[in-house]
Amino acid sequence: MIIGVPKETYPGERRVALVPAVLPTLTKAGFEVHIQSGAGIDAGYLDVLYAEKGGKIVADRAAIFAAADIVAQVLCYGPNDVNGQLDVPLYRQNQILVGFLRPFGSLEVLQQIAQAGVTSFSVELMPRTTRAQSMDALSSMATVAGYKAVLVTADIHPRIFPMLTTAAGTVTPARAFVIGCGVAGLQAIATARRLGAVVSAYDLRPAAKEQVQSLGGRFVELPIEAKDAQDARGYATAQDEDFYRRQRELLGKVVQESDVVIATAVIPGKKAPILVTEDMVKGMAPGSVVLDLAAERGGNCDITEAGKTVVKHGVTIIGPINLASTVPYHASMMYARNITAFLTHLIKEQKLNLNLADEIVRETLLTSGGEIAQARVREFLKLPALTKQAG
């Protein structure tokens, strides 16, 4: 089977779906890998490195799609809402497509993908289980984003992060506050600690407390309890507006005492809750920085503008989108390992094994046989349940 890797086309995207280091594993499993010329260059992987590992370099994008049994991308049509549509005419019936597909996005886009006849797998839908851990691209990208978020704030903030005792006196450490302690938040805590900041963190899931403490952070406990804070998959559950209002009241003091706030609080398939208000920002010291990793999902701060940096009341509010793409070498390496683990799980002896009894296959299968196949996505999009599972 041929795996085709086209160059990413989302503006500014620097990642690539496969890196040369995973090619030997894929070749050993019987795959042939075709790479569009220049696909890895922005991440630091030259054509020659792929060729050395047995990859075939193909100049023409259309030829990649024409030859591939499997197309591996980072941002497929869906999250690539700028140029992704141009790939749809290149899709072939029953071709396998793997990548970020924004399953809880636009019905119209998902229908276009389904009707093109591709069997698509959305990495966002990978179960958060021990078995699927090596295939969990969401966690890989969140790790990179959480790390980079801290570096961005450190770069912009007028203070030094660590405590320094110098001949010119003592510098006190910066105070960082992380809201939402999932994968990105925990990596932000670890990174801010490594830079010497004093770190506090909060999550509505009580299970996060121990994780924060094990990283050397102080867990902020609020005298409110979320109802069923966590669902069976480990995700936070949406709370009512009353709860969020109480949260904002109680978080205000901690936010205002912080030099840096990194907000990562999101709920799958929902708009992110507003937890940092303009009033709180007004109360922060001049020069403070808020980095809103939830920007793409509506933002945790009500001043955030997705994709922009705004300065208001002397505070810089950053709403990055696609932060993982700014560390493309390692983001691509981790993504490539996830995709390789997934493909070698999915395809045995050169045959797609669409075994819907396997949770990994069932959960990630987004479109199949011309239909949107994933049950939760159909429910989210208010489509009737499929009587017979496609495939």
Is residue 16 within 8 A of residue 5, CB to CB? The reply is yes
Task: Say whether 294 sits in a helix, a strand or coil.
Answer: coil
Q: In whole angstroms, how close is the CB of 89 to ligand NAD at the nearest point?
A: 34
Query: Can you tell me which of 182, 217, 299, 319 binds ligand NAD, judged by CB under 6 A?
Result: 182
Least spacing, CB of residue 237 vs ligand NAD, in Å: 8
Q: Is 193 marked active-site?
A: no
Catalytic: 139? yes
Pick 272 or 366: Cβ nearer ligand NAD: 272
Cβ 43 vs Cβ 329: under 8 Å? yes
Q: Which residue number places its CB atom closest to ligand NAD?
A: 182
Number of Cβ within a 10 Å radius of residue 186 = 24
Complex with ligand NAD: residue 185 or 217, whichever CB lies closer: 185
Q: Which of 183, 255, 262, 331 binds ligand NAD (CB under 6 A)?
A: 183
- Strands 365-368 and 119-122 turn out to be antiparallel
Contacts of residue 63, Cβ cutoff 8 Å, sequence gap at least 6: none
CB-count exposure of residue 241 (10 Å: 0-12, 13-18, 19+): exposed
CA angle (123, 74, 8) in 5-degree steps = 160
Residue 180: CB minimum distance to ligand NAD, A? 3
How far is CA 242 from its chain centroid?
Answer: 29
Which candidate in 73, 120, 139, 258 is catalytic? 139
Q: Is 22 in the site for ligand NAD (CB under 6 A)?
A: no
User: Which residues in 62-91 contact ligand NAD (CB under 6 A)?
Assistant: none
Element (H, E) at 122: strand 119-122
CA angle 255, 260, 265 (to 5 degrees): 65
- In the complex, the smallest distance separating the C-beta of residue 304 from ligand NAD, rounded to whole angstroms, is 15
Q: Examine residue 334 and tell whether it contacts ligand NAD (CB under 6 A).
A: no
Check if 133 is active-site: yes
Query: Is 222 one of the binding residues for ligand NAD (CB under 6 A)?
Result: no
Q: Which stretch binds ligand NAD (CB under 6 A): 82-90, 104-112, 125-133, 315-323?
A: 125-133
| Distance in Å, CB of 196 to ligand NAD, minimum | 24
Catalytic residue among 235, 246, 358, 378: 235
Question: Could you give the residue ranges of the DSSP H alpha helices within 157-230?
Answer: 183-194, 208-214
The nearer residue to ligand NAD, 53 or 246, going by C-beta atoms, is 246
Supply the DSSP string of 30-93, one letter for each residue.
T-EEEEETTTTGGGT--HHHHHHTTPEEES-HHHHHHH-SEEEEEE-TTT-TTTGGGGGGG--T
Q: Using the rule CB under 6 A, is 209 a contact of ligand NAD?
A: no
Q: For residues 172 and 309, give the distance between their C-alpha atoms in angstroms, rounded to a whole number.
A: 27
Enclosing H/E stretch for 292: strand 289-292
Has 136 been annotated as catalytic?
A: yes
Candidate list 128, 159, 218, 378, residue with the active-site label: 128
C-beta of 72 vs 272, nearer to ligand NAD:
272
- Cβ–Cβ < 8 Å for 4, 34: yes
Q: In the stretch 235-274, what mask flags binding to ligand NAD with x, by CB under 6 A?
A: xx----------x----------------xxxxx----x-
* Catalytic-labelled residue, pool 106, 133, 214, 350: 133
Does the footprint of ligand NAD cover residue 364 (CB under 6 A)?
no
Subset of residues 150 to 169 that bind ligand NAD, contact rule: CB under 6 A: none
Spatial contact of 165 and 286, defined as CB atoms under 8 Å apart: no
Residues with catalytic roles: 128, 133, 136, 139, 235
Interface ranges with ligand NAD (CB under 6 A): 128-130, 133, 136, 138-139, 142, 179-185, 202-205, 208, 234-236, 247, 264-268, 273
